[in-house]
Amino acid sequence: MKLQNSFRDYTAESALFVRRALVAFTGILLLTGVLIANLYNLQIVRFTDYQTRSNENRIKLVPIAPSRGIIYDRNGTPLALNRTIYQVEMMPEKVDNVQNTLEALRSVVDLNDDDIAAFKKERARSHRFTSIPVKTNLTEVQVARFAVNQYRFPGVEVKGYKRRYYPYGSALTHVIGYVSKINDKDVERLDKDGKLANYAATHDIGKLGIERYYEDVLHGQTGYEEVEVNNRGRVIRQLKEVPPQAGHDVYLTLDLKLQQYIETLLAGSRAAVVVTDPRTGGILAMVSMPSYDPNLFVDGISSKDYSGLLNDPNTPLVNRATQGVYPPASTVKPYVAVSALSAGVINRNTSLFDPGWWQLPGSEKRYRDWKKWGHGHLNVTKSLEESADTFFYQVAYDMGIDRLSEWMSKFGYGHYTGVDLAEERSGNMPTREWKLKRFKKPWYQGDTIPVGIGQGYWTATPLQMNKAMMILINDGVVKVPHLLQSTVEDGKKVPWIQPHEAPVGDIHSGFWEIAKDGMYGVANRPNGNAHKYFAGTPYKVAAKSGTAQVFGLKANETYNAHRIAERLRDHKLMTAFAPYDNPQVAVAMILENGGAGPAVGTIMRQILDHIMLGDNNTELPAENPAAAAAEDQ
C-alpha cells in the first residue's frame, strides 16, 4: 500500500478537482442565470400578459340587456310593452349528459318535443359556454317545481328576462309588427353594420312594422357587469357595473280606439282602411284584415301555426294597406281632372255628350260607361259627381300616356309613400318604357284609355290613394304619411318633423277647388252617386268611390256579382274627407271582392260618424240595390 501511495500525483488530482469544481460552479451559475432570466421574463416582461390571463379565468364580463322602449298610441295607451318572464337555461358544457337531462326536465317544467327541437337548433348555432334557453314563459308552478329539483340539474338554471308583449293582439299587428328571436341573417346583418356587440345580452330583435323600422331607437345600449368567479364558474362578487341604457319610448299618431272600431266594421272581410290627418300627414288608423296575433312570434312560432298563416288563402300576413296593390279605379278621377286642367287639356266649361259609351277615334273600339244609357251632357264637375267614365276616357285620350303618367307620378302613384314602415310596395304607374320592358310590346293608344279611370295596368296601395287625396285636400302641398308622432329623450317628447317636398302643380291655380267641389257633389248633391249614404250628416263630406275589376267582361256581357265566384267579384273602393270646409280627416278604403258585410259607403259613413260625432251606431236608410250599384262607380 505504501508503494502505491508513493506513485500518486497530488498536484494533478488537485488541478482536476479545481477544474471540475469550476465546471460545476459555472453550470450552477448558468442554470441560476437561466432561472433568473425566466423569472424576470415571467414576472416583469410578461407580467401584464399573465395577469390578464389570470383575470380572464377569474373575472368575467357579463352583458346586461337594455330595457326595450315602450310603444304608445297618440293618447298614451301602451301598444307594446315589456313584462318579466322566466325561462330554463342550460350550459351544455357543464352537463354530463344533455339528452338525459332534457328527458328528466320533461316532468319538472313540462318540456315538450317542440321545446327540445328549438333547444337543439339554438345549440347548433351558439358558441361554447353559452346559456341556451330550454323552455320559456314558465308558470309560477313550473318555477317553484324547478327550484325544489335544481340540485338534480347542474349546469341548468332559471333566469328572468323582460319579454315583449302586445296587449291588443291582432288589432295592430301590421303596424306595430313584432320582435322575435335573433337568427343567423340578423347576426350577419348586425355584424356587417358594426352593431353585433350591442346585442350580446339580447335574444330578440324587431322583425316587422314599427318594431323593425325603429329598432335602433327602441333597442337601447347594452351594459355589463364585471364579476369574479370561482373555478366552477359561479359568481363570487361583483367588481364593477356599467348599467345599460334603456331604449327610447315612442308615441305613434295612431288612435287605438279608432283602430279597434274600424276592425269590428271589417270583420269577416278582406279589406284595408287608412285614416290620416291631412293637416299633418299623421296616420290615425291603418287596418288590414284579416290579421293575426303577433305574440305568437315573440318566443318563436311553431311550424304548425306558421304554416297555417302562410297557407291561409286570405293572406293575413300581408299588410293590405301598404302591400296590397289594386287598380285605384274611379278614386283617381279628381286627380286626373286637376292634371287635365293644369295641362290645359280641359277647362271648367269643357263639355261632352255621353250616350253610354266612348269610341276610340279611327277605330271601332268602344269603351262602355258604367251607366248603360249614359249621363247626357257633361262637364268636369258633373263627370266627377256622377263618376262618368266617358268624360275621362276623352281626357285620357287627349292627355296621352306620357303626360298622364307624369302627372299621376306627382300625386305619388308608382312611388313609395315615405311611410315609416319597411313593408311597402310601390304599385305601378304604367309608362311606355314600363310596358316595353315588361311585355316586350309597344304602348298602344288603346292602352291609355282605361288609365283615365284608374284601370288597365295601373295599380296602387290604399296608402298611396290616401296620400294622393291629402295632396288634393292641401291644394298640391305634399304631406308624407307617417306613424311616429314623437320619441322620448331625456324625459322630453321630441316631435317627428315633416320633410319638405316640392308641391304638385300650381297651388294657387283654383283647379284644386274644382276637383274638390266634384267630390263634394258625390256626397251632397242629388245626382251624386254616394249622396244616399251621407245625407243628413251635421258635417259636410267630400267623397269618391270606385270599382276595380278583377276580370274583364265581354262587350255583350253584364256584370252580376251573384252569378260569379266570390273571388272574381269586383273590389269596392272609396276615398273621403271631412269636414269639407276644414278637412281634419281623410279616409281611403278597399273591400276586396266587395267585402262580407255592408256596402263601402255604409262603412265609410260609420267611420266618419265615429270620428266626427263619436257615434258608433250610425243609422242609415235601408239598402237600395240600385243606389249601391251607382255608389260603387
User: Catalytic residue numbers?
Assistant: 330
Report which of 563, 579, 616, 625 is spatially closest to residue 598, judged by C-alpha positions. Answer: 625
413-434 as b/e, with b when 16 or more CB fall inside 10 Å? bbeebbbbbebbbbbbbbbbeb
Residue 48: how many CB atoms within 10 A of its CB? Answer: 9
Report which of 441, 312, 339, 437 is spatially closest to residue 396, judged by C-alpha positions. Answer: 339
Task: Tell me the residue ranges of DSSP E strands in 383-491.
Answer: 484-489
Cell of 278: 291631412
**Which residue shows C-alpha cell 279597434?**
260
Cell of 399: 292627355
CA–CA dist 410, 93 (Å, integer): 62
DSSP state of 372: T
Give, in order, the Cα–Cα distances in Å from 137 to each of 87, 126, 165, 242, 389.
6, 21, 12, 28, 59
CA–CA dist 584, 287 (Å, integer): 19
In sequence order, the 6+-apart residues with CB closer than 8 A to the CB of 548 are 326, 327, 328, 329, 454, 455, 570, 571, 572, 573, 590
Q: Which amino acid would we find at residue 371?
A: K
In sequence order, the 6+-apart residues with CB closer than 8 A to the CB of 152 are 104
Partner residues linked to 482 by β-bridges: 282
Which spans in 181-302 are helix H? 184-192, 209-213, 215-219, 256-265, 295-298
End-to-end Cα spacing for the chain: 143
CA–CA dist 546, 594 (Å, integer): 11
Report which of 182, 127, 134, 138 is spatially closest to residue 160, judged by C-alpha positions. Answer: 138
In sequence order, the 6+-apart residues with CB closer than 8 A to the CB of 216 are none
Q: How many residues does the chain have?
A: 633
**Which residue shows C-alpha cell 379565468?**
57
Which spans in 419-490 are helix H? 432-439, 445-451, 462-473
